[in-house]
Amino acid sequence: MKKVGDGSVGPTVQYESSPGKVGIRFVEPWATYANNILKSSWDQMLSGERPVGPTLATTVRDINGIIPKNG
């Protein structure tokens, strides 16, 4: 990928697939929608602005809901 001048795709793929790395971004066709859902809740949940349990359950439900529509 680096040879064809892809910009940041090659380094990003290499970094995201490195051993020990736990990815938090999705790369499937529904990824944009899932990342929007994560962005709206993840930071607030981790910072304590939103309760973890209910927020996580809602996030999972919402992501699972978009997969059949955008997969």
Residue 56 belongs to domain spanning: 2-70
For residue 57, the model assigns a pLDDT of 93
CA angle 17, 22, 25 (to 5 degrees): 80
Distance CA(25)–CA(31), nearest Å, equals 8
Into how many domains does the chain fold?
Answer: 1
For residue 30, the model assigns a pLDDT of 81
For residue 40, the model assigns a pLDDT of 83
- Per-chain mean pLDDT for the chain: 78
Reduce the DSSP state of residue 28 to 3 states and report it: coil
pLDDT tens-digit readout, 13-42: 776 677 776 666 656 778 888 888 888 888
Of 31, 27, 29, the closest CA to residue 15 belongs to 27
Considering only residues 7 and 20, tell me which one the structure prediction assigns the higher pLDDT: 20
Q: Which residues neighbour 11 within 8 Å (Cβ) at sequence distance 6 or greater?
A: 2
* End-to-end CA separation in angstroms for the chain: 25
pTM over 0.85: no
For residue 62, the model assigns a pLDDT of 92
